[in-house]
A and B are shown apart, each in its own frame.
Chain A
Amino acid sequence: MSKLVGTLREAVMAAGLKDHMTVSFHHHLRNGDYVLNMVLAEASEMGIRDLTVNASSLFDVHEPIIGHIKNHVVTGLEVNYMGQKVGRAISEGIMEKPVIFRSHGGRAGDMENGSAKVDIAFIAVPCADNMGNMSGKYGPSACGSLGYAFSDAMYADKVVVITDYLVPYPLQDCSIPEGYVDYVVCVDRIGDASRIVSGTTKITRDPVGLRIAWLASQVVKHSGYLKDGFSFQTGAGGASLAVAKYVEEMMEEEKITGSFCMGGITGYLVSMMEKGYFDTILDVQCFDLAAVASIRENKRHREISASRYASPVAKSSAVDSLDVVILGATQADTDFHVNVHTDSNGNIMGGSGGHSDTAQGAKLSIVAAPLIRARLPLITDRVLCKSTPGETIDVIVTQRGIAVNPRNQRLREALVRAGLPVRDIQELKKTAQDIAGVPKEVACKGRTVAKVLYRDGTLLDTIRAKS
């Protein structure tokens, strides 16, 4: 028996793609992905209409989806993150039905509890055998962890595996087993390897970013959580990664061994594990070649599914055991609500990803961001989109001061005693306005273009078109 079919068209037809179906994709190929565009192109050529696309993330490479939306091939979107190109088009109102935004954990949870039904999952994998055993660790387009694809494989009605590197049966070290798979197809290339993972992710050189990172690390130091068994997650962006560097220096000084680090994994975190600062890496996504090599070769570097990472529906998930997480934000308000979905003008250019999951799960959630970005103040009276509720944010760290959520007086006192520049959030807001001037409030008065669902499925906020 073989599930192998000759072409993508055959696979799509065999899987029974029809109008009004929901199809799903993961985003491990990031801005180098070819598969989502390939599948939608087939659907369009076949005359399929009214599809809902449940893609864990959409990047600028997925710009062609804008055309499919305009042609009504695609009329529904469910995503955890949307890059600036597609986001701008959505904000301009090209799609009638509002986009559904979830978090990574929420997407997995909603697939588990049946509220997000998927008819056909199209799973792009760097390596597979003819029965559908699949892995992200091998092949010319290796991407490392396939964390976001597990739910798709397990819960979709039909599963199509698309690879560019077929190996003889059985793929020995498989991540997702054949039992979930209906069809397998091999194409020339699933993506552009150079844009799937970067060479190395570098720590920022921007002095203000470094200053913010250093202050954030000082918050960690005086929080009481930095001791043996410490667990930590930070972003892969330059400034967030710089926090890891300062935390490493502190762990070295105090001779601390951490339990695990998690999240989007880069070579920097791999080297921290290899040097002995962490026992384990829990990896839901790899960002660079070093991370891919490590997950392949080091048994302490574990691949985890999005469900194991952050599903609020499962009996527990890794975020529940996380001590500290470092997060970004485009805006924050005086209630500590944080916006990561839109820019300061209300245009969609992001999404929660794991933001609201880790903020809720972690014992200490720190937002680290510049107080002013190109004149725009970080702190407003009301964020344009509530991506993560203020109750789950403990600290906001900027280069001109640290605001502590009033719910956490113990932490506030500890930071004040340590001599850190603790400020009231209203004071920080005013400092930014004293420097930059008071900004005019931006209003989005158009119809609803997106709904932001919290981890538990409830509606957190809506995003409107500009006019």
Chain B
Amino acid sequence: MEIRKNAAAGTLESSDVFICVEPYGQLSVQIQSVVQEQYMEAVSNTVFQVLEEFEVKSGKIQVNDRGALDCVIRARMETAIRRGGSR
């Protein structure tokens, strides 16, 4: 998937995650998380796994995590990518 337009998914509610994607020359991923001490690695792994799954090779990805479970992060990532991208 190539990110062709700005898109967002999710919310800033507790247990959710807000994700923004924009077109960009390279892959730039910024992650902040309210549970970074306990789960930063897990959140980061999930974010990169989904990017790989959708073959996103470039784009500015901003992740603002409010303590979302793994399956929720995956869902929001996928939604943002599909909204912003095309094959």
Contact = CB atoms under 8 A, between A and B. Distances in A.
Assess A/B contact in the complex (Cβ within 8 A).
yes
Main secondary structure of the interface of A (DSSP, over half): loop
A440 B36 CA distance: 9
Interface string B30-66: 0000110111111000000000000000000000001
Nearest to B34: A374
Interface string A362-392: 0000000000011110000000000000000
Given A374-B14, A374-B15, A375-B15, A439 B38 contact: yes
Contacts of B66: 374
B69 interface: yes
Nearest to A345: B37
Interface string A410-445: 000000000000000000000000011101101000
A344 B69 CA distance: 17
B71 to A, nearest CB: 9
A229 B3 CA distance: 68
A345 B40 CA distance: 13
B38 A442 contact: yes
A442 B36 CA distance: 10
A345 B36 CA distance: 9
A437 to B, nearest CB: 5
A375 B39 contact: yes
Contacts of A345: 37
Contacts of B67: 373-376
Given A437-B42, A440-B41, A376 B35 contact: yes
A8 to B, nearest CB: 41
Nearest to A435: B69
Given A374-B66, A375-B69, A376-B67, A437 B39 contact: yes
Given A374-B15, A375-B15, A440 B69 contact: no
Interface residues of B, number: 15
A373 B14 CA distance: 9
Contacts of A376: 35, 38, 67
The range of chain A's interface size is 10 to 19
Contacts of A373: 67
B37 A436 contact: no
Given A375-B69, A435-B69, A440 B15 contact: no
A448 B17 CA distance: 35
A375 B35 contact: yes
A440 B34 contact: no
A171 B38 CA distance: 56
A442 B35 CA distance: 11
Contact of B37 (A374, A435, A437, A442): A442
Nearest to A346: B37
A375 to B, nearest CB: 4
B34 A437 contact: no
Contacts of A442: 37-38
Contacts of B41: 440
Contacts of B37: 344-345, 440, 442
Interface string B63-87: 0001111100000000000000000
B56 to A, nearest CB: 23
Given A374-B67, A375-B67, A375-B68, A344 B38 contact: yes
Contacts of B15: 374-375
A143 B67 CA distance: 37
Nearest to B14: A374
A381 B22 CA distance: 41
A345 B70 CA distance: 20
15 contacts: A344-B35, A344-B38, A345-B37, A373-B67, A374-B15, A374-B35, A375-B39, A375-B67, A376-B35, A436-B70, A437-B69, A440-B37, A440-B38, A440-B41, A442-B38
Given A375-B35, A436-B39, A436-B69, 6 more contacts: A374-B15, A375-B15, A375-B67, A376-B67, A439-B35, A439-B39
Interface of A: 344-345, 373-376, 435-437, 439-440, 442
